[in-house]
Amino acid sequence: MKKTYGIGLVVLLLLTVGLGTAAAQGKSPVVTQTSFARIDTNGDGIITVAEYEAYWKGRFRDIDADKDGKIMAAEFEASAKRQFSTLDADKDNALVAQEFVAYYCGPDAKAPKKAKKKAMKKIDADKNGKIGKDECVMFWMARYRDADADKDGRVTMDEFLAAAKKQFQEMDMNGDGVIAVQEFDYYYAAQDAKTKAKQ
């Protein structure tokens, strides 16, 4: 059972993205909803690995529209479309890096102007049990780059759905076309927990 945190959902930057792209459009995207606030359940401004995992486990119930305890491809795609709409703060039908980063890492997070040479595939890179702002930004920037198939610094709905389809396939570890809750939890588990599960 192999899985890295690079989007399969989902699952990101060329030389200029994010604020640079938004500035070229004459405005910066205003993010009014963020998953960061929902993940940080105690409101201390720090996301722990435990909070991160708990948030994504809760997302299973949100995606499982018919509440039958499994996620079908159609449910996953419908959820991805809703997610895209939420992420698209300026409603221009494309995501820039700043929208992505602000949503997942908080409105004060800034998308870097240049991509780091090595993409971050683990959200808690230093394994200290907390997800620092830099760790969060670089992790989600890696996912953004993966989704930006044509590398133009913007993620369209089609690109986002293609990334979601790839993520679905990665989650569906037994290849039966359905994501069971165990597969979903395993996908979002901390890397150390996965290592122990394999032993």
∠ CA 15-102-149, nearest 5°, is: 45
8 Å CB contact between 35 and 55 = yes
Q: What is the pLDDT of residue 66?
A: 95
CA–CA distances in Å: residue 86 to residues 33, 94, 134, 157:
7, 11, 23, 12
Alpha helical stretches, state H, the chain: 19-24, 35-39, 49-63, 73-87, 97-105, 133-147, 157-171, 181-188, 191-198
C-alpha–C-alpha distance, residues 121 and 141, integer Å? 10
Q: What is the pLDDT of residue 120?
A: 59
One-letter amino acid of 156: T
- Write out the chain's pLDDT in tens, 199 residues: 444 333 333 332 222 233 233 333 334 444 445 777 777 788 777 778 788 778 878 889 999 999 999 999 999 999 999 999 999 989 999 999 999 899 888 888 899 887 665 555 677 777 888 888 888 888 889 999 999 999 999 999 999 999 999 999 999 999 999 999 999 988 877 544 444 445 4
Q: What is the pLDDT of residue 7?
A: 35
Helices 157-171 and 181-188, packing angle to 10 deg: 110
